[in-house]
A and B are shown apart, each in its own frame.
Chain A
Amino acid sequence: MVAADLQNLPVPVQEALLEITDPEIPVLSIMDMGVVREVTLDEKHVHIKLTPTYSGCPAMDTMAVDIKRALEKRGYDATVKLVLAPAWTTDWITPAGRAALEAYGIAAPLDAQSDKYALIDGERIVKCTNCGSANTKMVSQFGSTACKALFQCEECLEPFDYFKCLK
Protein backbone atom coordinates (compact mmCIF):
# COMPACT_ATOMS: atom_id res chain seq x y z
CA MET A 1 0.00 0.00 0.00
CA VAL A 2 1.78 3.12 -1.17
CA ALA A 3 0.79 6.70 -0.48
CA ALA A 4 -1.13 8.79 -2.96
CA ASP A 5 0.74 9.53 -6.18
CA LEU A 6 1.05 13.24 -6.77
CA GLN A 7 2.85 13.09 -10.12
CA ASN A 8 -0.15 13.70 -12.37
CA LEU A 9 -1.50 16.58 -10.29
CA PRO A 10 -0.93 20.25 -11.08
CA VAL A 11 2.26 21.64 -9.57
CA PRO A 12 0.49 24.03 -7.13
CA VAL A 13 -1.46 21.10 -5.65
CA GLN A 14 1.72 19.09 -5.30
CA GLU A 15 3.47 22.03 -3.64
CA ALA A 16 0.60 22.56 -1.22
CA LEU A 17 0.59 18.95 -0.08
CA LEU A 18 4.34 18.79 0.24
CA GLU A 19 4.50 21.84 2.48
CA ILE A 20 2.06 20.54 5.14
CA THR A 21 3.72 18.89 8.10
CA ASP A 22 2.61 17.14 11.25
CA PRO A 23 2.17 19.98 13.76
CA GLU A 24 3.86 17.89 16.44
CA ILE A 25 6.74 16.75 14.21
CA PRO A 26 7.31 19.77 11.95
CA VAL A 27 10.07 18.08 9.92
CA LEU A 28 7.79 15.34 8.70
CA SER A 29 5.57 16.21 5.74
CA ILE A 30 2.19 14.54 5.51
CA MET A 31 3.34 12.91 2.26
CA ASP A 32 6.38 11.38 3.96
CA MET A 33 4.19 10.28 6.83
CA GLY A 34 2.03 8.32 4.40
CA VAL A 35 -1.28 9.65 5.71
CA VAL A 36 -2.47 11.06 2.37
CA ARG A 37 -4.12 8.05 0.78
CA GLU A 38 -5.74 9.50 -2.31
CA VAL A 39 -5.88 12.79 -4.14
CA THR A 40 -8.29 13.40 -6.97
CA LEU A 41 -8.96 16.58 -8.86
CA ASP A 42 -12.32 17.80 -10.07
CA GLU A 43 -11.57 21.04 -11.96
CA LYS A 44 -10.47 23.36 -9.15
CA HIS A 45 -11.70 21.14 -6.37
CA VAL A 46 -9.31 18.71 -4.69
CA HIS A 47 -10.66 15.62 -2.91
CA ILE A 48 -8.28 14.22 -0.36
CA LYS A 49 -8.49 11.04 1.65
CA LEU A 50 -6.53 11.25 4.86
CA THR A 51 -5.97 8.41 7.30
CA PRO A 52 -5.28 8.99 11.00
CA THR A 53 -2.06 7.73 12.57
CA TYR A 54 -3.65 7.06 15.97
CA SER A 55 -7.43 7.31 16.31
CA GLY A 56 -7.21 9.96 19.01
CA CYS A 57 -4.42 11.94 17.38
CA PRO A 58 -5.32 15.62 17.80
CA ALA A 59 -2.93 16.53 14.97
CA MET A 60 -5.30 15.12 12.34
CA ASP A 61 -7.80 17.98 12.61
CA THR A 62 -4.99 20.50 12.33
CA MET A 63 -3.59 18.78 9.25
CA ALA A 64 -7.00 18.83 7.54
CA VAL A 65 -7.32 22.56 8.23
CA ASP A 66 -3.76 23.20 7.02
CA ILE A 67 -4.36 21.30 3.79
CA LYS A 68 -7.47 23.32 2.99
CA ARG A 69 -5.68 26.57 3.74
CA ALA A 70 -2.64 25.72 1.62
CA LEU A 71 -4.82 24.79 -1.35
CA GLU A 72 -7.09 27.82 -1.02
CA LYS A 73 -4.02 30.04 -1.12
CA ARG A 74 -3.30 28.55 -4.55
CA GLY A 75 -6.84 28.95 -5.83
CA TYR A 76 -8.19 25.48 -5.08
CA ASP A 77 -11.06 24.26 -2.93
CA ALA A 78 -10.55 21.11 -0.94
CA THR A 79 -12.61 18.42 0.73
CA VAL A 80 -10.74 16.31 3.24
CA LYS A 81 -12.25 12.97 4.15
CA LEU A 82 -10.93 10.86 7.00
CA VAL A 83 -10.73 7.18 6.05
CA LEU A 84 -10.02 4.42 8.56
CA ALA A 85 -9.40 1.42 6.32
CA PRO A 86 -6.81 0.24 5.62
CA ALA A 87 -5.39 1.34 8.96
CA TRP A 88 -2.18 3.36 8.93
CA THR A 89 1.05 1.60 9.77
CA THR A 90 4.50 3.01 10.44
CA ASP A 91 5.63 1.04 7.36
CA TRP A 92 4.05 3.82 5.31
CA ILE A 93 6.58 6.39 6.50
CA THR A 94 8.87 6.92 3.51
CA PRO A 95 12.68 6.52 3.69
CA ALA A 96 12.95 10.32 3.41
CA GLY A 97 10.52 10.62 6.31
CA ARG A 98 12.53 8.20 8.44
CA ALA A 99 15.71 10.16 7.74
CA ALA A 100 13.95 13.41 8.68
CA LEU A 101 12.77 11.89 11.97
CA GLU A 102 16.28 10.72 12.88
CA ALA A 103 17.79 14.11 12.02
CA TYR A 104 15.15 15.76 14.21
CA GLY A 105 16.07 13.58 17.18
CA ILE A 106 13.33 10.96 16.98
CA ALA A 107 14.49 7.39 16.43
CA ALA A 108 12.60 5.84 13.49
CA PRO A 109 10.40 2.78 14.15
CA LEU A 110 12.02 -0.68 14.15
CA ASP A 111 10.28 -3.71 12.64
CA ALA A 112 7.45 -5.21 14.74
CA GLN A 113 9.53 -7.96 16.33
CA SER A 114 12.47 -5.73 17.29
CA ASP A 115 10.00 -3.15 18.58
CA LYS A 116 8.66 -5.74 21.01
CA TYR A 117 12.18 -6.69 22.12
CA ALA A 118 12.98 -3.05 22.77
CA LEU A 119 9.75 -2.05 24.53
CA ILE A 120 8.86 -5.21 26.43
CA ASP A 121 12.07 -7.13 26.98
CA GLY A 122 14.21 -4.04 27.44
CA GLU A 123 16.75 -5.05 24.80
CA ARG A 124 19.22 -2.36 23.92
CA ILE A 125 18.68 -1.99 20.19
CA VAL A 126 17.17 1.46 19.67
CA LYS A 127 20.02 3.65 18.48
CA CYS A 128 20.59 7.04 20.12
CA THR A 129 19.79 9.83 17.65
CA ASN A 130 22.55 11.95 19.15
CA CYS A 131 25.59 9.64 19.18
CA GLY A 132 24.39 6.45 17.45
CA SER A 133 25.08 4.16 20.40
CA ALA A 134 22.70 1.25 20.93
CA ASN A 135 23.40 1.34 24.65
CA THR A 136 20.05 2.96 25.38
CA LYS A 137 17.26 2.23 27.82
CA MET A 138 13.54 2.81 27.72
CA VAL A 139 12.37 5.39 30.23
CA SER A 140 8.67 5.26 29.39
CA GLN A 141 6.55 3.22 26.97
CA PHE A 142 4.57 6.36 26.23
CA GLY A 143 6.35 9.61 25.41
CA SER A 144 5.32 13.16 24.63
CA THR A 145 2.62 11.83 22.28
CA ALA A 146 0.87 8.46 21.97
CA CYS A 147 3.00 7.46 18.97
CA LYS A 148 6.31 7.75 20.79
CA ALA A 149 8.20 6.13 23.66
CA LEU A 150 10.84 7.89 25.73
CA PHE A 151 14.41 6.57 25.72
CA GLN A 152 17.70 7.64 27.21
CA CYS A 153 21.22 7.00 25.92
CA GLU A 154 23.60 5.52 28.49
CA GLU A 155 26.64 6.70 26.53
CA CYS A 156 25.96 10.39 25.94
CA LEU A 157 23.07 10.56 28.48
CA GLU A 158 20.84 12.32 25.96
CA PRO A 159 17.10 11.59 26.29
CA PHE A 160 15.26 11.04 22.99
CA ASP A 161 11.94 9.91 21.55
CA TYR A 162 11.45 6.64 19.73
CA PHE A 163 8.63 6.45 17.18
CA LYS A 164 6.90 3.17 18.07
CA CYS A 165 6.18 0.58 15.42
CA LEU A 166 2.47 0.42 14.64
CA LYS A 167 1.42 -2.54 12.53
Chain B
Amino acid sequence: MENKHKSLIDYLLILGDNSLILGHRLSELCGHGPSLETDIALTNISLDLFGQVRSYFQYAAELTGGEATEDTIAMKRVDREYRHTWLVEQSNKDFAYVIGRQFLFDAFHLPLLEQLVNSKDEMIAAIAAKSIKESRYHLRFSSSWMERLGDGTQESHQRMQNAVNDLYPFTYEFFEETATEKMMLEAGIGADLKSIETIYRQTIKDVFAKANLEIPDTPARKTDGKKGIHSEQLGFILAELQYMQRAYPNMSW
Protein backbone atom coordinates (compact mmCIF):
# COMPACT_ATOMS: atom_id res chain seq x y z
CA MET B 1 0.00 0.00 0.00
CA GLU B 2 1.19 3.50 -0.78
CA ASN B 3 2.59 5.29 2.22
CA LYS B 4 0.43 8.34 1.56
CA HIS B 5 -2.71 6.21 1.73
CA LYS B 6 -1.52 4.50 4.87
CA SER B 7 -1.25 7.78 6.76
CA LEU B 8 -4.58 8.99 5.43
CA ILE B 9 -6.29 5.78 6.52
CA ASP B 10 -4.66 6.09 9.93
CA TYR B 11 -5.93 9.66 10.14
CA LEU B 12 -9.46 8.57 9.23
CA LEU B 13 -9.31 6.08 12.08
CA ILE B 14 -8.15 8.76 14.51
CA LEU B 15 -11.11 10.88 13.41
CA GLY B 16 -13.67 8.09 13.24
CA ASP B 17 -12.79 6.00 16.29
CA ASN B 18 -13.63 8.74 18.81
CA SER B 19 -17.13 8.88 17.34
CA LEU B 20 -17.43 5.10 17.13
CA ILE B 21 -16.50 4.42 20.74
CA LEU B 22 -18.43 7.38 22.16
CA GLY B 23 -21.41 6.41 20.00
CA HIS B 24 -21.19 2.91 21.45
CA ARG B 25 -21.05 4.19 25.03
CA LEU B 26 -24.14 6.30 24.37
CA SER B 27 -25.93 3.38 22.74
CA GLU B 28 -25.57 1.47 26.03
CA LEU B 29 -27.99 4.02 27.47
CA CYS B 30 -30.78 3.17 25.04
CA GLY B 31 -33.77 2.48 27.28
CA HIS B 32 -31.73 3.34 30.38
CA GLY B 33 -31.58 7.14 30.22
CA PRO B 34 -32.59 8.96 33.41
CA SER B 35 -35.66 10.40 31.66
CA LEU B 36 -37.37 9.85 28.34
CA GLU B 37 -36.08 13.18 27.04
CA THR B 38 -32.43 12.49 27.81
CA ASP B 39 -32.70 8.87 26.71
CA ILE B 40 -33.92 9.95 23.26
CA ALA B 41 -31.40 12.79 23.05
CA LEU B 42 -28.38 10.65 23.93
CA THR B 43 -29.34 7.83 21.58
CA ASN B 44 -29.97 10.33 18.78
CA ILE B 45 -26.52 11.78 19.36
CA SER B 46 -25.19 8.23 19.24
CA LEU B 47 -26.91 7.73 15.89
CA ASP B 48 -25.41 10.94 14.51
CA LEU B 49 -21.94 9.80 15.59
CA PHE B 50 -22.39 6.37 14.00
CA GLY B 51 -23.52 8.06 10.80
CA GLN B 52 -20.34 10.12 10.76
CA VAL B 53 -18.26 7.01 11.46
CA ARG B 54 -19.86 5.25 8.50
CA SER B 55 -18.71 8.03 6.17
CA TYR B 56 -15.14 7.96 7.51
CA PHE B 57 -14.95 4.17 7.37
CA GLN B 58 -16.54 3.85 3.92
CA TYR B 59 -13.84 6.19 2.70
CA ALA B 60 -11.12 4.28 4.58
CA ALA B 61 -12.41 1.00 3.12
CA GLU B 62 -12.27 2.46 -0.38
CA LEU B 63 -8.64 3.51 0.15
CA THR B 64 -7.75 0.16 1.71
CA GLY B 65 -9.29 -1.82 -1.14
CA GLY B 66 -9.56 -5.59 -1.19
CA GLU B 67 -12.13 -7.06 1.16
CA ALA B 68 -12.30 -4.04 3.44
CA THR B 69 -15.73 -2.56 4.18
CA GLU B 70 -17.01 -0.09 6.75
CA ASP B 71 -18.05 -3.10 8.84
CA THR B 72 -14.71 -4.89 8.81
CA ILE B 73 -13.06 -1.65 9.90
CA ALA B 74 -15.55 -1.06 12.70
CA MET B 75 -15.89 -4.64 13.90
CA LYS B 76 -12.85 -6.67 13.02
CA ARG B 77 -9.87 -4.80 14.32
CA VAL B 78 -8.08 -5.87 17.49
CA ASP B 79 -7.88 -3.48 20.44
CA ARG B 80 -4.43 -2.12 19.58
CA GLU B 81 -5.70 -0.99 16.18
CA TYR B 82 -8.32 1.43 17.58
CA ARG B 83 -7.21 5.04 17.60
CA HIS B 84 -9.64 6.85 19.91
CA THR B 85 -8.69 8.82 23.00
CA TRP B 86 -9.23 7.55 26.52
CA LEU B 87 -11.91 10.09 27.33
CA VAL B 88 -14.53 8.52 25.07
CA GLU B 89 -14.11 4.98 26.40
CA GLN B 90 -14.83 6.02 30.00
CA SER B 91 -17.93 4.28 31.33
CA ASN B 92 -21.42 5.65 31.98
CA LYS B 93 -20.79 5.85 35.72
CA ASP B 94 -23.70 8.21 36.32
CA PHE B 95 -25.57 10.87 34.35
CA ALA B 96 -23.03 13.54 35.34
CA TYR B 97 -20.27 11.41 33.83
CA VAL B 98 -22.24 10.95 30.64
CA ILE B 99 -22.79 14.70 30.33
CA GLY B 100 -19.25 15.61 31.36
CA ARG B 101 -17.73 13.18 28.86
CA GLN B 102 -20.07 14.41 26.13
CA PHE B 103 -19.36 18.07 26.76
CA LEU B 104 -15.58 17.58 26.95
CA PHE B 105 -15.76 15.77 23.61
CA ASP B 106 -18.23 18.11 21.84
CA ALA B 107 -16.16 21.17 22.80
CA PHE B 108 -13.25 19.53 20.95
CA HIS B 109 -15.23 18.01 18.10
CA LEU B 110 -16.86 21.23 16.88
CA PRO B 111 -13.67 23.31 16.36
CA LEU B 112 -12.04 20.20 14.87
CA LEU B 113 -14.78 19.95 12.26
CA GLU B 114 -14.66 23.71 11.67
CA GLN B 115 -11.09 23.21 10.51
CA LEU B 116 -11.65 20.01 8.58
CA VAL B 117 -14.28 21.76 6.46
CA ASN B 118 -11.30 23.39 4.74
CA SER B 119 -9.33 20.16 4.33
CA LYS B 120 -7.61 19.70 1.00
CA ASP B 121 -9.04 16.21 1.01
CA GLU B 122 -12.46 16.72 -0.55
CA MET B 123 -14.03 13.71 1.11
CA ILE B 124 -12.91 14.73 4.61
CA ALA B 125 -14.13 18.26 3.93
CA ALA B 126 -17.53 16.93 2.85
CA ILE B 127 -17.89 14.65 5.88
CA ALA B 128 -16.94 17.54 8.16
CA ALA B 129 -19.43 19.90 6.50
CA LYS B 130 -22.16 17.34 7.06
CA SER B 131 -21.15 16.49 10.63
CA ILE B 132 -20.68 20.04 11.81
CA LYS B 133 -24.38 20.81 11.66
CA GLU B 134 -25.10 17.86 13.92
CA SER B 135 -22.25 18.56 16.30
CA ARG B 136 -23.53 22.08 16.94
CA TYR B 137 -26.70 20.54 18.36
CA HIS B 138 -24.65 18.12 20.43
CA LEU B 139 -22.58 20.88 22.01
CA ARG B 140 -25.70 22.92 22.73
CA PHE B 141 -27.28 19.91 24.42
CA SER B 142 -24.26 18.97 26.53
CA SER B 143 -23.44 22.58 27.52
CA SER B 144 -26.99 23.23 28.66
CA TRP B 145 -26.92 20.08 30.81
CA MET B 146 -23.53 21.04 32.25
CA GLU B 147 -25.19 24.25 33.40
CA ARG B 148 -28.35 22.57 34.67
CA LEU B 149 -26.44 20.05 36.75
CA GLY B 150 -23.52 22.25 37.79
CA ASP B 151 -25.76 25.12 38.77
CA GLY B 152 -28.56 22.88 40.05
CA THR B 153 -28.96 21.30 43.47
CA GLN B 154 -26.12 20.64 45.90
CA GLU B 155 -26.23 16.97 44.93
CA SER B 156 -26.18 17.56 41.17
CA HIS B 157 -23.44 20.15 41.55
CA GLN B 158 -21.26 17.79 43.57
CA ARG B 159 -21.73 14.93 41.15
CA MET B 160 -21.01 17.12 38.14
CA GLN B 161 -17.86 18.45 39.82
CA ASN B 162 -16.73 14.90 40.68
CA ALA B 163 -17.29 13.78 37.10
CA VAL B 164 -15.26 16.58 35.55
CA ASN B 165 -12.53 16.14 38.16
CA ASP B 166 -12.13 12.56 36.95
CA LEU B 167 -12.57 13.23 33.23
CA TYR B 168 -10.72 16.48 32.70
CA PRO B 169 -7.20 14.98 32.88
CA PHE B 170 -8.07 12.91 29.79
CA THR B 171 -8.71 15.98 27.65
CA TYR B 172 -5.03 16.74 27.09
CA GLU B 173 -4.68 13.73 24.86
CA PHE B 174 -6.76 15.37 22.11
CA PHE B 175 -3.95 17.87 21.58
CA GLU B 176 -0.95 15.59 21.71
CA GLU B 177 -0.04 15.48 18.07
CA THR B 178 0.85 12.07 16.64
CA ALA B 179 3.17 11.63 13.67
CA THR B 180 0.13 10.98 11.47
CA GLU B 181 -1.63 14.16 12.59
CA LYS B 182 1.52 16.17 12.01
CA MET B 183 1.90 14.79 8.52
CA MET B 184 -1.75 15.43 7.70
CA LEU B 185 -1.54 19.00 8.96
CA GLU B 186 1.51 19.65 6.80
CA ALA B 187 -0.29 18.18 3.80
CA GLY B 188 -3.20 20.58 4.32
CA ILE B 189 -5.51 17.67 5.04
CA GLY B 190 -5.56 17.57 8.81
CA ALA B 191 -6.45 20.01 11.57
CA ASP B 192 -4.14 22.23 13.59
CA LEU B 193 -4.54 20.91 17.11
CA LYS B 194 -2.75 23.86 18.72
CA SER B 195 -5.27 26.42 17.53
CA ILE B 196 -8.12 24.08 18.46
CA GLU B 197 -6.75 23.81 21.98
CA THR B 198 -6.96 27.58 22.46
CA ILE B 199 -10.63 27.54 21.43
CA TYR B 200 -11.21 24.45 23.55
CA ARG B 201 -9.85 25.87 26.80
CA GLN B 202 -11.88 29.05 26.25
CA THR B 203 -15.13 27.09 25.74
CA ILE B 204 -14.37 25.12 28.91
CA LYS B 205 -13.73 28.33 30.82
CA ASP B 206 -17.00 29.91 29.65
CA VAL B 207 -19.23 26.91 30.25
CA PHE B 208 -17.64 25.99 33.59
CA ALA B 209 -18.16 29.57 34.79
CA LYS B 210 -21.83 29.50 33.80
CA ALA B 211 -22.20 26.06 35.35
CA ASN B 212 -20.62 27.23 38.59
CA LEU B 213 -17.97 24.51 38.28
CA GLU B 214 -14.26 24.64 39.10
CA ILE B 215 -11.81 23.74 36.36
CA PRO B 216 -9.76 20.92 37.91
CA ASP B 217 -6.07 21.69 38.28
CA THR B 218 -5.12 18.01 38.22
CA PRO B 219 -2.28 17.18 35.85
CA ALA B 220 -2.79 15.58 32.45
CA ARG B 221 -3.18 11.81 32.32
CA LYS B 222 -0.45 10.34 30.19
CA THR B 223 -2.42 8.28 27.70
CA ASP B 224 -1.69 7.02 24.21
CA GLY B 225 -5.08 6.04 22.84
CA LYS B 226 -4.31 7.54 19.44
CA LYS B 227 -1.36 5.15 19.22
CA GLY B 228 -3.53 2.17 20.13
CA ILE B 229 -2.76 1.89 23.84
CA HIS B 230 -6.07 1.71 25.75
CA SER B 231 -7.42 1.16 29.21
CA GLU B 232 -9.04 -2.09 30.33
CA GLN B 233 -12.41 -0.53 29.46
CA LEU B 234 -11.92 -1.15 25.75
CA GLY B 235 -11.92 -4.93 26.12
CA PHE B 236 -15.46 -4.86 27.50
CA ILE B 237 -16.59 -2.45 24.80
CA LEU B 238 -15.20 -4.58 21.99
CA ALA B 239 -16.65 -7.77 23.45
CA GLU B 240 -20.09 -6.26 22.95
CA LEU B 241 -19.41 -4.20 19.81
CA GLN B 242 -17.83 -7.08 17.90
CA TYR B 243 -19.82 -9.99 19.23
CA MET B 244 -22.10 -10.52 16.21
CA GLN B 245 -19.38 -10.18 13.56
CA ARG B 246 -17.02 -12.44 15.51
CA ALA B 247 -19.64 -15.09 16.17
CA TYR B 248 -21.26 -14.93 12.72
CA PRO B 249 -18.67 -13.45 10.32
CA ASN B 250 -20.08 -11.21 7.56
CA MET B 251 -23.64 -11.62 8.80
CA SER B 252 -26.07 -8.91 7.83
CA TRP B 253 -29.80 -8.30 7.99
The answer on a CB contact under 8 Å between A84 and B47 is: no
Listed by A's residue number, 25 A-B pairs whose Cβ atoms lie within 8 Å are A54-B47, A54-B51, A55-B55, A56-B48, A56-B50, A56-B52, A84-B126, A84-B130, A85-B129, A87-B129, A88-B130, A89-B133, A120-B140, A120-B144, A140-B36, A140-B37, A141-B37, A141-B41, A141-B140, A142-B141, A144-B40, A146-B47, A146-B48, A150-B37, A164-B137
The answer on a CB contact under 8 Å between B47 and A85 is: no
The interface residues of chain A lying within 8 Å CB-to-CB of B51 are 52, 54-57
Task: Give the nearest-CB partner of A57 in chain B.
Answer: B51
The interface residues of chain B lying within 8 Å CB-to-CB of A140 are 36-37, 40-41
The answer on a CB contact under 8 Å between B130 and A55 is: yes
B146 is an interface residue with CB less than 8 A from chain A: no
Interface of A is mostly: loop
**The residue from A55, A88, A142, A166 contacting B54, defined by CB atoms under 8 A apart:** A55
Task: Give the nearest-CB partner of B49 in chain A.
Answer: A56
Q: Which residues in window 117-167 of A have CB below 8 A to B?
A: 119-120, 139-146, 150, 164, 166-167
**The residue from B37, B55, B140 contacting A84, defined by CB atoms under 8 A apart:** B55
| A114, chain B: closest CB distance, angstroms | 15
| A41, chain B: closest CB distance, angstroms | 26
The answer on a CB contact under 8 Å between A54 and B37 is: no
The answer on a CB contact under 8 Å between B55 and A141 is: no
Q: Which residues in window 206-241 of B have CB below 8 A to A?
A: none
Interface size on B, residues (CB 8 A): 28
Chain B residues with CB under 8 Å of chain A are 36-37, 40-41, 44-45, 47-52, 54-55, 122-123, 125-127, 129-131, 133-134, 137, 140-141, 144
A86 is an interface residue with CB less than 8 A from chain B: yes
**A interface, how many residues as a size bin?**
20 to 34
Q: A54-B51, A85-B126, A146-B47 are in contact. Are A141 and B137 (CB under 8 A)?
A: yes
Task: Give Cα distance in the complex from A141 to B130, angstroms.
Answer: 20
7 additional A-B pairs beyond A55-B52, A55-B54, beta carbons within 8 Å, are: A55-B127, A55-B131, A55-B134, A58-B47, A146-B44, A146-B47, A146-B134
Interface residues as binary, A55-66 with B (CB distance below 8 Å gives 1, 0 otherwise): 111100000000
The interface residues of chain B lying within 8 Å CB-to-CB of A142 are 37, 40-41, 44-45, 141
The answer on a CB contact under 8 Å between A167 and B133 is: yes
| A54, chain B: closest CB distance, angstroms | 6
Task: Give Cα distance in the complex from A141 to B133, angstroms.
Answer: 15
The answer on a CB contact under 8 Å between A52 and B130 is: yes
Q: A56-B49, A142-B41, A142-B44 are in contact. Are A87 and B140 (CB under 8 A)?
A: no
| A124, chain B: closest CB distance, angstroms | 18
| A145, chain B: closest CB distance, angstroms | 8
The interface residues of chain B lying within 8 Å CB-to-CB of A84 are 55, 123, 126-127, 129-130
4 smallest CB-CB distances across A and B, nearest first, come from A56-B51, A55-B51, A85-B126, A56-B47
